[in-house]
Amino acid sequence: MKEVSAGGVVFYQGETTEFLMILDHCHKWTFPKGKVEKGETYQEAAIREIREETGIDGNIIKSLDKVYYEYYHPIHGKVEKEVYYFLVEAKNYHLKVQESEINRAKWVSLQEAWETQKTSGYDNNLSIMKQALKELGYQNFK
């Protein structure tokens, strides 16, 4: 089975730049994302999923890479997953978590976002985070 999702590295530009992180049901910190619905573009799905999961509306700034991975579903068996990511600037700051989809959401500093992805996130998200930071002018994160 193949599944296609879209999501975003969401940032808010206030006095400092903050990044939106979500804690998924597998207890990993990641970026908001979800399945692309029939008739929807990847961009539309990303904006909808971010809004549904966190209450944040945003504007897509740039396309980022896509990631591929596999997981096991108890009914469908092996699932091949493809996720299209975008760099998204948040229009609002107040979070409203959709608890049926995610456990938590929080705004974090650039450094905390990077460290969280390295220590408590998914390995394939590091390249997406690095690409987003580069697009925002931050070059030296390792």
Question: Could you report the per-residue pLDDT of 13-65, keeping only the tens digit for each?
Answer: 999 999 999 999 889 999 999 999 999 999 999 999 999 999 999 999 999 99
CB 114 within 8 A of CB 133: yes
Number of structural domains (the chain) is 1
Helix (H, G, I), strand (E, B) or coil at 102: coil
Tokens of 120: 């408590």
Extract the tokens encoding 113: 């976002």
- pLDDT tens digit sequence for 84-116: 999 999 999 999 999 888 999 999 999 999 999
What local confidence, expressed as pLDDT, does residue 25 receive?
A: 87
Q: Is residue 108 a contact partner of residue 30, using CB atoms and an 8 Å limit?
A: no
The answer to whether residue 86 is domain-embedded is yes
Query: Residue 6: inside a domain, yes or no?
Result: yes
Query: CATH number, domain at 65?
Result: 3.90.79.10
The whole model's pTM is what? 0.93
CA pair distance 69, 50, nearest whole angstrom: 21
Q: Could you tell me if residue 140 is inside a domain?
A: no
**With pLDDT > 90 as the criterion, what percentage of the chain qualifies?**
81
Range of the structural domain that residue 71 is part of: 2-135
Sign of CA dihedral 70, 131, 85, 92: positive
Interval 1-13 mean pLDDT: 96
Residue 141 lies in a domain: no
pLDDT of residue 141: 61
CB 2 within 8 A of CB 11: no
